[in-house]
Amino acid sequence: MKINYPIACIPGILLLHVMLTISVLTVKGQPVPQNKYGLPVVQTTAHYQQLVAADSNQALIDIAAYIPGIRTDIRYATADNFTHQVLYPYAAAYLRLPAARALKAVQEELNRQGLGLLIFDAYRPYSITEKMWEIVPDDRYAANPRNGSGHNRGVAVDLTLVKLQTGQPVAMPTGFDDFTEKAHHAYPVSDTMIAANRQLLRSVMEKHGFLPLTTEWWHYYLKTYKEYPLMDIPFSGI
């Protein structure tokens, strides 16, 4: 006969077992701990590993190792960024497996045109988004922690095009993290080559499942971003 005990009557060890079982059973669903804004944020490596064990698509992939020939210039590992502070302990670029696969397809298509990708940023721990907001509390220029960012989900990437022969970036309307209207996709560009470069990057990224951010020509995120929780795992915990 099955007896349903009130939780208060369950012995301590058994209660711990029950709670751990519930955690494991629901880790692929929604019971991710909420932060002070009520957002579910994965905050421990153990929890992240549980997610990956339940669904391999949750894995964060080192895209520099995964995508042959891809180049990186991780600005937030240096002071050469809009905050003028070093925000990452070292340069790293991670994306969820489906985003990494899609970006690999982008790289392969561009390679056939003598071009490649240069990555400025990819997965960003949620705590870094909070720090950015403390420095620049303006949602035109930084993600509001109350909402989180596609970068925190591991499915957004900041990037540009480079020429394969030289490794040099092609001309774009602005530099990276230029927070003016000139960086908007709709901004009219008189130089036809620059306009074509911006459009080429957009068309190839969209072809492979990414969406553009209207105010930043360099920022793209996976259409299925809602399938991935916000993360606050440091690079060393991946």
> Does 190 reside within a domain?
yes
CA distances from 122 to 5, 42, 192 (A): 47, 17, 29
Q: Provide the domain limits for residue 204.
A: 45-237
Each residue's pLDDT expressed in tens, for the chain with a length of 238 residues: 333 434 343 344 333 333 333 333 343 554 788 999 999 999 999 999 999 999 999 999 999 999 999 999 999 999 999 999 999 999 999 999 999 999 999 999 999 999 999 999 999 999 999 999 999 898 878 899 999 999 999 999 999 999 999 999 999 999 999 999 999 999 999 999 999 999 999 999 999 999 999 999 999 999 999 999 999 999 999 9
Does residue 216 have an active-site annotation?
yes
Annotation-wise, does 121 bind a ligand?
no
**Helix axes of 192-207 and 97-111: crossing angle, nearest 10 degrees:** 130
User: What's the pLDDT tens digit per position in 84-107?
Assistant: 999 999 999 999 999 999 999 999
> Does 165 reside within a domain?
yes
Sign of CA dihedral 58, 60, 65, 70: positive
HEC string of 51-87 equals HHHHCHHHCEEEHHHHCCCCEECCHHHCCCCCCCCCC
The pLDDT, as a whole number, for residue 101 is: 98
Give the N- to C-terminal CA distance of the chain in Å, as an integer. 45
Query: What domain count does the chain have?
Result: 1
> Does 12 reside within a domain?
no
CA distances from 157 to 25, 91, 222 (A): 31, 14, 9
Report the CATH number at residue 189: 3.30.1380.10
> Does 233 reside within a domain?
yes
> Does 180 reside within a domain?
yes
The pLDDT, as a whole number, for residue 22 is: 35
> Does 208 reside within a domain?
yes
Annotation-wise, does 151 bind a ligand?
yes
Cβ-contact 99, 67 below 8 angstroms: no
Q: Residue 107's CB: how many other CB atoms inside 10 A?
A: 21
> Does 172 reside within a domain?
yes
Cβ-contact 232, 43 below 8 angstroms: yes
Percent of all residues in the chain with a pLDDT value above 70, rounded to a whole number:
87
Annotation-wise, does 158 bind a ligand?
yes
User: What's the pLDDT tens digit per position in 23-69?
Assistant: 333 435 547 889 999 999 999 999 999 999 999 999 999 999 999 99
> Does 116 reside within a domain?
yes
Active-site residue among 109, 130, 134, 216?
A: 216
